[in-house]
Amino acid sequence: MTSPTREWTAESLAAHYVEVRDHTERLAAPLSPEDQTVQSMPDVSPTKWHRAHVTWFFETFLLQPHEAGFAPFQDTYWFLFNSYYEGVGPRYARAERGLVSRPGAHEVGAYRANVDERMRALLDRLDDGTVDKLAPTIELGFHHEQQHQELLLMDIKHVLSRNPLQPVYGGRPAASTAPGAIGWVDVEGGLVEIGHDGAGFAFDNELPRHRAFLEPYRLADRLVTNGEWLEFMADGGYERHDLWLSDGWARVQSEGWRAPFYWTEVDGVWFEHTLHGTWPVDPALPACHVSHYEADAFATWAGKRLPTEAEWEHAVALHAADDPAGSLDRSASWHPSADLGAEADAPRVRQAFGDCWQWTSSAYLGYPGFHPPEGAIGEYNGKFMSGQMVLRGGCALTSPGHARLTYRNFFPPGARWALSGVRLADGGAPSEVGR
């Protein structure tokens, strides 16, 4: 599942466990029992399901094999809160998670408390040898829960968007500054290496580190903005079939796309549904909640293209202006906000991690030599390597400490409810027009 991890001790594991688990509860705190129950589409899960499922992970993969005299908190939870691990047993149908009113939000809280208590007891008893043995799975549990923290926020954003009362989760719009024109970061390419190098945690799909050959290319130094998206729209972007992939054009027509997902036009003004309410679209912020099809059409319209994931990773490794370990710690802001400070001497890759996930032109497939781990945990990533596109970076809803250079996020090309935006790429030679 994972590469060798950092040096864990029983104490640091216990401390980090509390931190991650508490963060989930803080995110859910503004939500009523009713909010936590609704599933607004099959891709979305109810808040209380997220809270329970991440708990089920610790109960199943840590307590069951390692707790003396293990018995599940509730037999039935076993079935209800398994998400996709076929190897663990039958699963409750994903699209029907919103039909289950019980256990309620409060009972899920009791489940969490019970597993936390038992996990604490387990961690208390670990000696040094056992720490090394269990740390990879525990750390996977941390990152798994962080993934669901981000999904919890994306999902409740969708749930609240379906309510004509336009309810608010919390927060307020960020101040923004209009960015300058896109600058271009030149990258030499050649035979480069990408993928996780073995230091620190990584999911299995980031392995193995391997070589790839890149022609010279250029990468935009910032994300496409709402203002630029409005230009695309004004220029007939959603009406011109020649800009679109065939599947994308079919969706434009069947679903009536004419703007990013959460935008609504009222009397000629575009508004955007956000977690802090419905606000006029801010042209300075990065365009977000666009599908891969829209990202590709925009790039074609702009005479550019989307980067491959290897191009993205290699350029960010060389030229990143914001540091994933540092600047991401802004959990208070779940709106996209640009980190576009004073211009440096040469263009650098900015907005890599903290605003929107960035669609690449790469299909989500296994790296050369990839093979998933044995057992149910091996179902984590590999079986989804079909029909999806890779996104890189991170977004304003990504949990602190969760993003990293080699992270491979993925969604189907038509998905729009995630915080997905666009960074353009271009061929290195002036005469070359990308796709």
Nearer to its own copies, 135 or 159 (CB): 159
Nearer to its own copies, 107 or 231 (CB): 107
For residue 353, give Cα distances in angstroms to 223, 336, 402. 11, 11, 10
**Minimum Å distance from CB 235 to its own copies?**
18
Question: How many helices (DSSP H) and strands (DSSP E) are in the chain?
Answer: 11, 12
**Minimum Å distance from CB 39 to its own copies?**
8
- DSSP per-residue codes, 39-95: --STT---HHHHHHHHHHHHIIIIIHHHSTT---S-HHHHHHT--S-GGGS----GG
**Minimum Å distance from CB 395 to its own copies?**
23
Nearer to its own copies, 97 or 289 (CB): 97
Half-sphere exposure (Cβ direction) of 68: Cα atoms closer than 13 Å: 5
**Minimum Å distance from CB 302 to its own copies?**
14
Nearer to its own copies, 4 or 216 (CB): 216
First-residue to last-residue Cα distance in the chain:
35
Closest by alpha carbon to 26, among 399, 318, 425, 306?
A: 399
36 with 158: CB under 8 angstroms? no
Q: How far apart are CA 101 and CA 99, in angstroms?
A: 6
Closest by alpha carbon to 390, among 155, 139, 206, 187?
A: 206
Nearer to its own copies, 72 or 104 (CB): 104
**Minimum Å distance from CB 191 to its own copies?**
6
**Minimum Å distance from CB 159 to its own copies?**
7
Return the number of other C-beta atoms located less than 10 Å from residue 83's C-beta.
19
Nearer to its own copies, 228 or 311 (CB): 311
273 with 156: CB under 8 angstroms? no
Closest by alpha carbon to 358, among 261, 271, 290?
A: 290
Nearer to its own copies, 126 or 212 (CB): 212
**Minimum Å distance from CB 186 to its own copies?**
16
Nearer to its own copies, 136 or 434 (CB): 434
**Minimum Å distance from CB 107 to its own copies?**
9
